[in-house]
Structure 1
C-alpha cells in the first residue's frame, strides 16, 4: 500500500517554473480559464524541479497516514525519499531521476505550445475555478476547484503555493462533493532535504525501467486491448502486447487494467473494494472461450471501471 501512496504523491507533487500568456490561452481555448491553465502548467513542473522537504498527511475516511517527504535536485537529476511515520516504518527511495524525463501525466498538464495549436488538454474534460486559498504549512495558497465535465472521473480541490506552484493540499471529490481522500503538507521547507528521522523497518527502491524492457505482469497468450476509455485518457506505457497490464491517465486521474488468464470458468459477478479515492474492480469474463479475470485499479468511479472492464477484447 505504501507503493500506491507513493505513486499518488508523485502525481500530486508534480512541478512549476514557467507560465503561459493569458491572451494566447484565451484565444486557443475559449471555454477554459486562462489563469487556471497557467497554474496547472506551473504545478506540473514545480516538485520535479524544486528542492523541498516536509511532512504530509494522507486522510481516507477515519484513516490518517503521516509521511515525511524529501526531494532534492542535483544537476540534471532529482532524488526522492518518502518515509512513513505512522504504523509500520517503511521508506521508498528513488535515486537519480533525470529532470528531462517527462512522464505522460506531466506532459498532459504542461500544455505549452499545444494550446497555441488549439489543443486544450485537460480543459476539455474539466472545468476550473481559481480563487484565493488559505495558508497551508505557513505558505499562502491559490485555490483551484476542478470539476469534471462528465460522470467518468472525480473532481479535485487543489491548493498551490502562490510563489512556487507546488501542490500544498489536494482533496479528491466524489458525487455531491464528498471528500474521498485528502493530502496536505503539515510542514514544508525549501532547500536541501533533511535526513530521515524515522525508524525504518522496510526500504523499497522505486524502479524506473524503460518501457520496452519492463517485465510482463502476467503470462497472457494473445494480444488484448481496452475497447472503451473515457475521453482524454491515454496509455502511459509502451509495453509488449503480450503482457497483462495497461495503464492510463488524463493528467489528473490514473488507472490500470490487468488481464489474468484462468484455468477454469468462474461464477459471473464482480468484486469491488474502495480505499479513499482508489477503487479495485474485478470481473470474470470469457473472451472467445478463454476464461479471464479483469481487474481495474485506480482513481475512477465504479461505473467507469465497470465499463472499461466490459470493453476488454482480444485483438487477434
Structure 2
C-alpha cells in the first residue's frame, strides 16, 4: 500500500497555484479513504490567503463527507457555517444558492443516520442568519419551507407551527414588493403544510378553515404536487363529512396533479377516488377519464 504524502509537503511542493489538482486528488479519495480526503479538503481551506472558489468547493465536499459518510453531523455543521461565510463574496449568488439548497436537501432527507433535532435546527438557523445578512428574502422563505416540511415529516408540530407563523408573516410583509403570482404560490405551499398538519392532528375545524382559504387563492402557479396534497386532504375531509361527491371531485383533482408531478402517491389517491365513487352510487366508471384510463389494469389498484 502506497504511503500517504503529508499534507504540508503537498502544499510546499505544489504551491497555492496548484490547488485545483489538490482538490481533485482529494475528491478521488472520498470513497476509498474519506478520512484522508477530508484532511486534504481542509488543507485547501487552511492554505487560502483569501476566501476563494476552491475553498468553497472544499468546504462543500467536507460538509457532505462529514454528514453523509462519516456521520458526524456536529462537525458537518461547523464546516457548513464556515462555508456560509464564503457566500458573501467568494462565489456567485446562483452557485451559493444551489449549494445551500443541495446541503439542506440531504440534511433534512434522513440519509445521514440519526441526527439530533437541535443539530438539524442549527443548520437552518445558520442558513437563515446568513441569508438575512445577505438580504436574500426569497431563499430565506424557501429555506423555511424546507424546515417546515422536515418538522412535518418528524411530527414536530410545535416547531412546525412556529415556522408556519414566520412564513405567513414573511408572505404578508412581501405583499407590496413581490408580484401577486409569486405570493399566491408561496401561500399555497404554506397552506399545504398546514392542511397536512391539521389532517394528521385530526383538527377538522382548522383543516376546513385552511382548505377553504387555499381555494380562495387566485393568483398562483403552484407545483402540481402542492395541489395534489391540498386536494387529497380535501377529499379526506369530505369523506369524513360523508360528502361523497365532493370527495370524489377532490380526489380526482389530487390524482391528476400527482400524476402530472410524477408522484407515486397518485396510486393511493386513485384508490380513494374509486372508493368515493362507489359511495356516491354513481354508475360512471372512474377509469373512463383520459387521466385514469392508463391505470385501469394496474395491479396496485386491485390490492
The bucket for the TM-score relative to the shorter chain is under 0.3
- Which has the larger share of helix? 2
TM-score, scaled to structure 2: 0.23
- Structure number with higher relative contact order (C-alpha < 8 Å, ≥ 6 residues apart): 1
Tell which structure's C-alpha radius of gyration is larger: 2
